[in-house]
Structure 1
């Protein structure tokens, strides 16, 4: 792994300034209507839009595009939006880059509020059937987060290489959906101590023998995985395009037709 979890790159002062300018310009154009178009180009159109990692102060929006393009969100407490958020990697590196898989986290929100957002894909605006997307933040939880091991593992391509971009989604019966992007070497780490219940009102306890479901997406390939809670650290290696039921064995399932429930996306 090139950079550990605690060894992230710190954006340069110039990068921070450029991001601030970019966010300001985007917000201004939104208010003036300058970023809206009638229809997004078919290769820029966001697909499989999913909301995950909802807390009392943040949420994550992820989606894919056929072409590698820049991505951002315009969001706010009403349909006029007024604020913008860049892809997590753009925020971290201090520059805007094109991607096929997009992962955008909106932070510094208020608990228990409805937020509306649109997706800016390249220079086009994407809505949910002509209406803004919406998400409600969770309530504040006074309890201390639970002591639970994180989920860790690695994704590889059929040729044995690490995917250039990949996202892991995780859920179990009664819990919310959480997600994370993989590192450059295909590894991932998902903290579970602050995993919430599906109604977001309390932390979710992973009891022994609990079955979890994983959806892995990368390089236009998908894998569905089922495993027990005691198999999460680490999860056996997953080859994208294969499905696995680790509650039975570590071999890929013979059929790839099964689709796991629990990872809904907005229709495109």
Structure 2
């Protein structure tokens, strides 16, 4: 009788230890997941290139991650997805959302490494631009971005504000090149196009990599193409030479953020 009791008590003890260890493992796993989610949280969320049938969402993350955008015409039904232009894990994320209707409200959330993120409990929202029958003549600016070591800066965000109008953006190519059709610039209300004078309309450019930025002021005539921009420097291509900075510069351009 005594011999059969000892294994039973021992078995119960082993089970209790297993339950405690399991609880600790689950607790630690939850902490790990929360920490990982915070590191993958989208930062510097910005909407640009708002047109009649499309818009662009860009953001950065503290860790390399994969991302996409869930979107729809209702905040309660984000049933469609748009994938990141950058296919590999990255600190930079750039998603084009297309196939939309003019002058219509859309909602979206960002998925980063499998977790959905929103705007403090609500989906982000925006209105597409109203339809305009008469389109302006094509006007394109371009340039090149280099790292501090002189190599091409690939997959870097380039933002532009032309004549105080709506927000434009693009990504650099594998050669560090960028191209932006400034003729697509609308006023902030999106109901008309900005009138552009190549010799006098101010352009502000802001470049953002994972850890470094650069900014420049120019006119359209000096951006066809613009002189190369090196990350970590501020430029004025209108009149003054570049400034060498020992730290990451603050942008001269006001970048609207929707965080």
Give the counterpart of 1:160 among 138, 150, 153.
Answer: 150
Cα offset for 1:162?
A: 1.5
What RMSD, in angstroms, separates the aligned Cα atoms of the two structures? 2.0
Report what 2:176 is aligned to: 186
Q: Distance in 2 between matches of 1:101 and 1:254?
A: 23
Q: Distance in 2 between matches of 1:57 and 1:162?
A: 32
Contact 2:206 / 2:253 at 8 angstroms: preserved in 1? Answer: no
Give the counterpart of 1:229 among 220, 227, 231.
Answer: 220
- How is 1:210-225 mapped onto 2 (pairs within 5 angstroms)? 210-225=201-216
Q: TM-score, normalised by structure 2?
A: 0.80
Report what 1:48 is aligned to: 44
Report runs of 4+ in structure 1 exceeding 6 Å deviation.
Answer: 37-40
Q: Distance in 1 between matches of 2:104 and 2:46?
A: 19
Contact 1:152 / 1:234 at 8 angstroms: preserved in 2? Answer: yes
Structure 1 residues 257 and 99: alpha-carbon distance in aligned structure 2, compared to 1, 3 A threshold? closer
Report what 1:262 is aligned to: 254
Structure 1 residues 257 and 158: alpha-carbon distance in aligned structure 2, compared to 1, 3 A threshold? closer
Greater RCO, CA 8 A, separation 6+: 1
Structure 1 residues 202 and 253: alpha-carbon distance in aligned structure 2, compared to 1, 3 A threshold? farther
Cα offset for 1:258?
A: 4.8
- Are residues 1:71 and 2:63 paired? no
Q: Distance in 2 between matches of 1:253 and 1:194?
A: 33
Ranges in structure 1 where 5+ consecutive residues have no aligned partner: 1-36, 91-96
Larger radius of gyration: 2
Q: Distance in 1 between matches of 2:126 and 2:89?
A: 25
Q: Distance in 2 between matches of 1:83 and 1:257?
A: 38
Contact 1:164 / 1:219 at 8 angstroms: preserved in 2? Answer: no
Give the helix-richer structure, 1 or 2: 2
Give the counterpart of 2:233 among 239, 242, 245.
Answer: 242
Deviations 1:203-225 (A, max 9, x none): 22211311110110114101121
Deviations 1:14-44 (A, max 9, x none): xxxxxxxxxxxxxxxxxxxxxxx98971221
